[in-house]
A = this chain, B = another copy of it.
């Protein structure tokens, strides 16, 4: 009996358009606020920060946005990606549910992140920008942007969370091999970084500290623009190439999804995968969209929906979304890509409007499921992806109990080949679970000003 069943799209079916969820949402997203005066950010603020094409995409109300031919051509490096059915996992779980996954693991940078990186590098090059500056956690985004910038002849500067910079040199070497510059955050290259290091020389960094350093650098160099791997609407827009393909693949085999599952750090993976189905759901489809988060940083599961800074220093705009507080420093779990205090505003809005739900999982149960999946299917998932598999297993087990023949589709956001140190620790029995958020939130000094906001 077959272990995996694959559904392809031909090269010619790389989507010609991204899907923009804004016109389909029940209400418009709240404005970004200028940190200086807490009023909606002006054109000038945004243009100093981002390429103009991306600013236009940020607030566009067009449902479909044309993908430039140069970007489509670059997608041809590995897209369209396959949709697999995981027969072996279904049999292992003895579930009547059908389990499908969209496989982003053959991306040359290792994850879905490249979908937006190529678009951003293309537009930046078109507008004559010198360099893109960005932040990265585990390095998935930094790797993607480094590759994309090399591909379009651009320079990139990547601030990498110090904990990952030191413990995951491979992704740093990847970025450097593509000719780009990588600096640890916090580090001595910005005023913000120096200040943090003075207060705590062993600061492990977080996506939020790296964002702060990237923003400070962009403000000081007129030829620089900031690049985001998640959060912003335009990033989620670019990622919808994943969901648009998935929707077409499911239609081809005559399947309606009952569950769409994706891991959420900030939300680019979830937004890109699930947003093209939101119109169906709002039109009445019986569809549950579920975010899988780490228990150590459960933004959608335990956060508050309110205005907060996207970065740690308060240099960037404020956005209304789910947040654990911009001064929350998540513990150094192995899913570095999920260590972020806030959700992308569009994902936050979707959560607030009841369009998607979330569940949180501890580290060891996630690696156990990641290892199981590898042995069953021959594909080693990134720890981030393993969160989505963990949630899928939970749903499939519920289906076994309720005898429901549900169609579950999860997004296999990236491979785990550069996370083998963590798998090694798990296999050797040396992995521990990080403290879950709830117990940290109760007494940790990083929440000193939490009550006051």
Q: Which residues of A contact B (CB under 8 A)?
A: 2-4, 6, 8, 10-11, 73-74, 76-78, 106, 108-110, 147-148, 150-151, 169-174, 176-179, 371, 374-380, 417-418, 420-421, 423-424, 426-428
* A2 CA to B72 CA, complexed, in Å: 10
Copy count, this protein chain: 2
* A2 CA to B148 CA, complexed, in Å: 15
- A421 in contact with B170 given A177-B380, A371-B177 (CB within 8 Å): yes
* A6 CA to B420 CA, complexed, in Å: 31
Q: Are A3 and B74 in contact (CB under 8 A)?
A: yes
In the complex, which residue of chain B has the Cβ closest to the Cβ of A151? B378
Q: Are A424 and B176 in contact (CB under 8 A)?
A: yes
Q: What does DSSP make chain A's interface, helix, strand, loop or mixed?
A: helix
In the complex, what residues of B have CB within 8 A of residue A376's CB?
A: 150
In the complex, what residues of B have CB within 8 A of residue A106's CB?
A: 78, 106
In the complex, which residue of chain B has the Cβ closest to the Cβ of A118? B378
Q: Are A417 and B174 in contact (CB under 8 A)?
A: yes
Report A18 CB to chain B, min CB distance, Å.
Answer: 20
* A150 CA to B372 CA, complexed, in Å: 10
In the complex, which residue of chain B has the Cβ closest to the Cβ of A5? B76
Q: Which 4 A-B pairs have the closest CB atoms?
A: A173-B424, A173-B420, A170-B420, A106-B106
Most B-side CB within 10 Å, residue of A6, A11, A173: A173
Q: Are A150 and B374 in contact (CB under 8 A)?
A: yes
Q: Which of B6, B73, B169, B427 contacts A173 (CB 8 A)?
A: B427
In the complex, what residues of B have CB within 8 A of residue A169's CB?
A: 420-421, 424
Report A217 CB to chain B, min CB distance, Å.
Answer: 22
Q: Are A172 and B424 in contact (CB under 8 A)?
A: yes
